[in-house]
Chains A and B, each alone.
Chain A
Amino acid sequence: EAGVTQFPSHSVIEKGQTVTLRCDPISGHDNLYWYRRVMGKEIKFLLHFVKESKQDESGMPNNRFLAERTGGTYSTLKVQPAELEDSGVYFCASSRRGDEQFFGPGTRLTVL
């Protein structure tokens, strides 16, 4: 069984630019989560999809972040415009129901 995949693995952009991160969950997993770890700090929850619906988006920092999961398969997280404080590692995770969450390798975003 293939694991959670994320693309790109690294992204370096200028402040004010737009970046789109992609996550492909494990096949059959209806639940998809986005998390972020800012340098050396805790991993923070951003949002949770159940299929294509946003179940919980209480962790989204502001309206510069837009997450979508059209068709209930892969998900994208767009940051527009990016700010310096958006730098960090963005993790995606998926789960079949509400049980164990399987994490992807993350996308390291650097905003200069």
Chain B
Amino acid sequence: QQQVKQSPQSLIVQKGGISIINCAYENTAFDYFPWYQQFPGKGPALLIAIRPDVSEKKEGRFTISFNKSAKQFSLHIMDSQPGDSATYFCAARVADTGRRALTFGSGTRLQVQP
């Protein structure tokens, strides 16, 4: 049973376009929602994260939109660039100071065409 469902599995966007990746979760105990970016041969790296007390967080060209009632969150990449081509993972973590395990989505392979 996958606790965080991510879509689409792959995405092709033209340079300058908007990339949108969606995630949905079931566990209402999740209170921290990070997005990770992974380039080939590298480990995932934290891109941006949000907590459920806000509906949107923006850092440069990257924005997380969060809908607590729908239990959904999404990553928007504005003005997508070829250098953004990577695999993106959404994740979530429960509100438990002892448990720090991240629950990941299955990943989205983004390709930005020049």
Contact = CB atoms under 8 A, between A and B. Distances in A.
Interface of A: 4, 31, 33, 35, 40-45, 48, 55-56, 58-59, 91, 93, 95, 98, 100-106
Given A42-B4, A91-B43, A58 B104 contact: no
Interface of B: 2, 4, 6, 34, 36, 41-46, 89, 91, 97-107
A100 to B, nearest CB: 5
Given A31-B100, A56-B98, A98-B97, A91 B105 contact: no
Contact of B46 (A56, A98, A100): A100
Contact of A106 (B2, B43, B104, B107): B43
A56 B103 CA distance: 14
Contacts of B101: 33, 45, 48, 56, 58-59
11 contacts: A35-B102, A35-B104, A40-B106, A40-B107, A42-B2, A55-B98, A56-B98, A56-B100, A58-B101, A93-B43, A103-B45
Given A42-B2, A48-B101, A98-B100, A103 B106 contact: no
Given A41-B106, A100-B46, A48 B100 contact: yes
Nearest 8 A-B pairs (CB), nearest first?
A: A103-B43, A45-B101, A43-B104, A42-B106, A42-B104, A103-B44, A105-B43, A104-B43
Interface centre among B6, B34, B101, B104 (most CB of A within 10 A): B101
Contact of A43 (B34, B42, B89, B99): B89
Given A91-B43, A104-B43, A56 B102 contact: no
Contacts of A104: 43
A43 B46 contact: no
Contacts of B106: 40-42
A105 B38 CA distance: 9
B2 A101 contact: no
A45 B89 CA distance: 14
